[in-house]
Structure 1
Amino acid sequence: MSSVAAKRIIVCGGNGFLGSRICKFAVSRGWDVTSISRSGEPQWQNVTASAAPPPWARKVTWERADIMRPTTYISLLKGADFVIHSMGILLEADYKGVLQGRESPISGLKKAFSGAQQPGNPLERDVKESEDIRPSETKEQFTYENMNRDSAIMLAKEANGENVDAFVYISAAGGAPVLPTRYITTKREAESTIASEFPNMRGIFIRAPFMYDSSRPITIPLAAMTGGGVLFNKLTGGVLRGFLGAAAAKPLKADVVAEAVVESLDDGNTRGPVEVEEIEELANKAWRKQML
């Protein structure tokens, strides 16, 4: 009797904080996992508590490609069952430069709130001819439109063309008081466009809250602060929900969200927006499977 072929999953952004954990849980199910990012394999000290690669990392194919240039990754999607977009930015700036000290957070926030160019629907542009969905005026700066929205829509388009069964977009539970509204509106625009333009592909939109893990110590107190916002919102009957945005959503450990993502792909009934409560339910369902 022939064995069932392993599911093939492509994780765009698989070397990131959440993406690497998605790869880990997909490997644990025996799936064929490929990560796509500009740098290939992660700098492990940036996503885990150790600089050494974990054992499961040897079972992942770490590919290099540019999410802004579809021609660099199209061939990698062939034969895939599932595709995940796990990339995005909080600030419209050289956000890695902010994290590494090359640019100040104040400068990053100024760019975020400035009147950045806002390109139209990427599906109406001749992407393959230009090989680049980043507008020329923003070559040195990611924008909410091209990173949070357009890159996801174009990846979904290419995945749909390869008859992928399901596409996961890592969205967000909400914005935040310190971020422009375009941060969350571009997320919702990506969800809406992917759902309407590619109805034959099961679209799953994980509306993740603030994520934390002990491997990133700074996220622990931030999660505690977010938890305080959740409690305050409950005590006030949700009076500031619109203002607090994601700060009014229960923070979750990154592993919980990652496990829920993988379970959502395995569960053929999951589609459309997946809110925080359902994320927890999916993760618990996956945990129960492991206990059987």
Structure 2
Amino acid sequence: MSSAAPKRVAVFGGTGFVGSAVCERLVKKGYAVTGVSRRGVNPKPGDENLDQVNWVKGDATDANTVKSVVKDADAVVHAVGLLFDVNSGLANLNTIVSGSGSLPDDDSTYDRITRQTMFNIVDAIEGKLSLPSFGKKEKFPLCFVSAAEAGWPDVTGGPFIEEKLAPEWLKGYLGAKRTVEERMTSSTKIRAAIYRPSLIWDWTKFDVLPVIPVFNIANAVGVPFVDKTVRVETLADAIVQGIVDDEVEGVQRYMQMEKLAAKA
């Protein structure tokens, strides 16, 4: 456990399905939380926890916007999500599958929304920690919501599934996630906690509820390229624990997330 736990946390994508759950839990634990999104408004007005978040309207693809937020943060969470980008041909489905029901802009590609936003965050953190005033400090906690399928190259059958069966949009989605993971882990200044959930759900996510048993049964019988689904509460608790505990680093699959959430 860190001897100097972060006190100020910035959550990019704070109004989203995962981001808002993280913000809520951070507030409960006494953190000063800044939630950043294109809308910059509380997604649940009247919620006693989310009402305490400093909601900021900002575009994380803009490096200066990111710098202005990161400079005052002790830890950062990247929960900016986009399942179908504008090149997928399925962008309109985001209103159904997105936890916040948002539609992508005309320039919302996986490269911009996933890679560029996180590269801006990493650059801002490294630049901040390079200033003489910071001296030698512990690694900066940075949590990233990736995807279970980003680990396909490392599991039996995964490479075949991706190469032969995965649609092009999914390959682009996973490529952006992996590029971010590599950038995070290559930094000597960052403690990278990489969360790889498969389907993320709660009881309000009617779009995925029917397929949850399919994923869980496949995982239970040992299909190596299918991970057990993850409740949003579990993921959010695991992310908070990843900020608190300086031993949390690297890839966190569903089994690690469940263990971390139990400690939160």
The two structures have a TM-score, normalised by structure 1, of: 0.71
- Is the partner of 1:168 in helix, strand or coil? strand
- Is the partner of 1:159 in helix, strand or coil? helix
In the aligned structure 1, how far is the partner of 2:50 from the partner of 2:215? Answer: 36
Q: 2:146 — aligned with what?
A: 171
Percent of pairs with identical residues: 26
The structure number with the bigger radius of gyration is 1
- Is the partner of 2:22 in helix, strand or coil? helix
1:15/1:35 contact within 8 Å kept: yes
In the aligned structure 2, how far is the partner of 1:99 from the partner of 1:230? Answer: 24
Q: Measure how far apart 1:146 and its partner are.
A: 1.8
Supply the AA of the counterpart residue of 2:142.
F
- Is the partner of 1:167 in helix, strand or coil? strand
Counterpart pick for 2:83 among 82, 90, 94: 90
Q: Measure how far apart 1:160 and its partner are.
A: 2.4
Answering whether residue 68 of structure 2 is matched by residue 75 of structure 1, we say yes
In the aligned structure 2, how far is the partner of 1:188 from the partner of 1:64? Answer: 27
Supply the AA of the counterpart residue of 2:223.
G
Q: Measure how far apart 1:234 and its partner are.
A: 4.4
- Is the partner of 2:35 in helix, strand or coil? strand
2:78/2:118 contact within 8 Å kept: yes
100 and 168 in structure 1: CA distance in 2 versus 1, 3 angstrom threshold: closer
Q: Measure how far apart 1:96 and its partner are.
A: 6.6
The within-5 A match list for 1:197-208 is 198-208=187-197
2:84/2:94 contact within 8 Å kept: no
Q: Measure how far apart 1:23 and its partner are.
A: 0.3
2:62/2:120 contact within 8 Å kept: no
Supply the AA of the counterpart residue of 2:194.
F
Which range moved further: 27-36 or 209-218?
209-218
1:10-59 deviations in Å (ceiling 9; x for gaps): 00000100000000110111000000111012443xxxxxxx43111121
1:14/1:20 contact within 8 Å kept: yes
Q: 2:108 — aligned with what?
A: 142
Q: 1:64 — aligned with what?
A: 57
84 and 5 in structure 1: CA distance in 2 versus 1, 3 angstrom threshold: closer
In the aligned structure 2, how far is the partner of 1:201 from the partner of 1:37? Answer: 23
Q: 1:23 — aligned with what?
A: 23
Supply the AA of the counterpart residue of 1:184.
L
- Is the partner of 2:10 in helix, strand or coil? strand
283 and 18 in structure 1: CA distance in 2 versus 1, 3 angstrom threshold: same
- Is the partner of 1:34 in helix, strand or coil? strand
Q: 1:135 — aligned with what?
A: none
Answering whether residue 144 of structure 2 is matched by residue 155 of structure 1, we say no
Q: Measure how far apart 1:77 and its partner are.
A: 1.7
1:178-209 deviations in Å (ceiling 9; x for gaps): 5431211221111011211x212211111122
219 and 232 in structure 1: CA distance in 2 versus 1, 3 angstrom threshold: closer
1:82-138 deviations in Å (ceiling 9; x for gaps): 01111131112287744459xxxxxx9xxxxxxxxxxxxxxxxxxxxxxxxxxxxxx
Q: Measure how far apart 1:233 and its partner are.
A: 4.9
| Larger RCO (CA under 8 A, 6+ residues apart) | 2
In the aligned structure 2, how far is the partner of 1:167 from the partner of 1:87? Answer: 13
In the aligned structure 1, how far is the partner of 2:84 from the partner of 2:115? Answer: 14
Q: 1:54 — aligned with what?
A: 47
Q: Measure how far apart 1:285 and its partner are.
A: 1.2
Where do 5+ consecutive residues of structure 1 fail to align?
45-51, 102-107, 109-138, 242-247, 287-292
1:213/1:219 contact within 8 Å kept: no
Supply the AA of the counterpart residue of 1:144.
Y
Q: 1:228 — aligned with what?
A: 214
CA RMSD of aligned residues (A): 2.6
Q: 1:13 — aligned with what?
A: 13
Supply the AA of the counterpart residue of 1:205.
I
1:205/1:274 contact within 8 Å kept: yes
In the aligned structure 2, how far is the partner of 1:271 from the partner of 1:99? Answer: 31
The two structures have a TM-score, normalised by structure 2, of: 0.78
